[in-house]
Structure 1
Amino acid sequence: MSSSNGLPIEVWEKILSHLYPSQLSRMSMVDKNLSEIVSSLKVWPRMFHAAHGSKAQLRPLMCIPRVENSYMIFMCASSLHVCEKCFGLTRYNAHQLYRLPLPIPVLLPRRSTDAIKYVGDRFDPNWTIRMCLPCRQGHISDFEEPIPLHVENIWVNWNTLIAKHPCLPHISHFSEFRGVRRGNQMIEESVVFKIMQQQFGGDIGIKAFEESTESWDKKTETRIRWYQLQE
């Protein structure tokens, strides 16, 4: 059995098994045949059970023809709360956006021998995927993000740092700075920024620190409600 492009379905399944869920959802939009192949991949039920538990049940969407199950649709509907790396679910009402799966750059080598490359001071990614906070922290450890130019070689006092970075008092390394919190002793901002990157899962986590998850929760609830009505 082959697809409209002449490749056997088994070959397509092998190719698609190397992609992240967000990439698979894009592939499913190419044509009807690919949509059927992508939606039938084992990654979707595996992702669903990893996020919701091994005994969780999911009913098919009867209004969508020739699709045996709707795992892909449901996981796409809840994608704002599911990590693409560990498939973990961050529950609704997490209160702070940085705790939710956020898009972070990942490098997708064209060849297995490709090394990680930087273009000037900018990380050159091929894709971004949503990762939960623990996965982002691990990713930052393996693939360190460059320090923004606006904090390099900058020395400031503690009060200035707090004013610039409201998340700073909430890092677990806060006690390391106990000796410099008083007075006007100068601190290298890039050193502090590296610690914040690790604590909050990269630059995107730092920026999301003060943001609420309320709008994200509502989007996900609306998507899942749509799913539940499709019978």
Structure 2
Amino acid sequence: MSTKKMRLRTRDQIDKRVPREIWEQILSHLYPSQLSRMSMVNKTLNMVISSLEVWPRMFYAAHGPKGQLRPLVRIPSFKSSYMMFMCASSLHVCEKCFGLTEYNADKAYKLPLPIPVLLPRRSTDAIKYVGERFDPTWTIRMCLSCRQRHISNLEEPVPRDVSKDRVDWYKLCKKYPCARQTPRLYRHNVSNIAIKEVDALNLMRQHFGGDIGIEASESSTEEYDEMTETRIRWYQLQE
């Protein structure tokens, strides 16, 4: 057998040569959405990832300690059913706190929405992030309260079209309709006090959980609900 073929075979089999405990330690540093991507690499990683404790823990956090979930007939491992169900309902589950957002929310910004996160350069006890700048290398779904806490430690860049000059309430609402839904901006409407546009943007970001929440502030949640119901029906058909 040629050296080239031996190298290829060794590289292909590396997932099987690494002990399961090592894989579990490595994978424990990833978010659920990253794990679901990793599970599609090959059968070995799928078996390891689908049996991780994070999936039943995520399920019970979202649905309560008495939540019931039957295993799928076509899936040999019981725990893999949790992974498939949580992936099916991921549009309504926060990846940070594992909280479940109920259906029929009046605004899309109240649902778990994808927000950029800084990824660690390498997995160590003292996690070191890639610089101090905003680096949207990955997005995870966070509920509104988690997004609000997240953006307090991660400053989003100010768009070029945002002015540092003061604007009145009418001009502000014309550019940002969601300003009417921001409590801390309401006093400017009552007292007719102008505010710097960049300051108003920061207040809206705090209230809606960043720019992604501002963009979703006027959106309907029906599409999210329908997509989640379709995914869960697909899951149920596998039983």
Mapped partners of 2:58, 2:231: distance in 1? 17
Give the equivalent residue in structure 2 for 1:146.
157
1:223 to 209, 218, 231: 231
SS at match of 2:102: coil
Mapped partners of 1:114, 1:219: distance in 2? 34
SS at match of 1:33: helix
For residues 102-113 of structure 1, the aligned pairs below 5 Å read 102-111=113-122, 112-113=127-128
Check if 1:117 corresponds to 2:132: yes
Deviation at 1:179, TM superposition (A): 5.9
Q: Is the 8 A contact 1:62 1:230 kept in 2?
A: yes
Q: Is the 8 A contact 1:96 1:213 kept in 2?
A: yes
Point out where structure 1 has 5 or more consecutive residues left out of the alignment: none
Identity of aligned residues (%): 60
SS at match of 1:63: coil
Deviation at 1:178, TM superposition (A): 4.5
Give the equivalent residue in structure 1 for 2:44.
33
Deviation at 1:15, TM superposition (A): 0.6
Deviation at 1:156, TM superposition (A): 2.2
Q: Is the 8 A contact 2:97 2:146 kept in 1?
A: yes
Dislocated runs of 4+, deviation >4 Å: none
SS at match of 2:17: coil
Q: Which amino acid aligns with 2:160?
A: L
SS at match of 1:103: strand
Mapped partners of 2:30, 2:140: distance in 1? 11
Deviation at 1:116, TM superposition (A): 4.0
State TM-score, norm by structure 2: 0.88
SS at match of 2:177: coil
1:6 to 7, 11, 17: 17
State TM-score, norm by structure 1: 0.90
The two structures, once aligned, show a CA RMSD in angstroms of 1.7
SS at match of 2:114: strand
Deviation at 1:152, TM superposition (A): 3.4
SS at match of 1:108: coil
For residues 183-222 of structure 1, the aligned pairs below 5 Å read 186-222=194-230
Point out where structure 2 has 5 or more consecutive residues left out of the alignment: 1-12
Mapped partners of 1:31, 1:51: distance in 2? 28
For residues 44-193 of structure 1, the aligned pairs below 5 Å read 44-64=55-75, 66-69=76-79, 70-111=81-122, 112-114=127-129, 116-118=131-133, 123-178=134-189, 180-181=191-192, 186-193=194-201
Q: Is the 8 A contact 2:188 2:195 kept in 1?
A: no
Deviations 1:184-216 (A, max 9, x none): x64310000000000000001000000000011
Q: Which amino acid aligns with 2:230?
A: T
Deviations 1:52-82 (A, max 9, x none): 0000010011123x32230000000000000
SS at match of 1:150: coil
Q: Which amino acid aligns with 2:48?
A: I
- Tell me: CA distance 1:230–1:157, structure 2 relative to 1, closer, same or farther (3 Å): same
Q: Is the 8 A contact 1:99 1:133 kept in 2?
A: yes
1:21 to 6, 9, 32: 32
Mapped partners of 2:89, 2:48: distance in 1? 21
Mapped partners of 1:79, 1:153: distance in 2? 38
Q: Is the 8 A contact 1:83 1:101 kept in 2?
A: yes
Q: Is the 8 A contact 1:95 1:214 kept in 2?
A: no
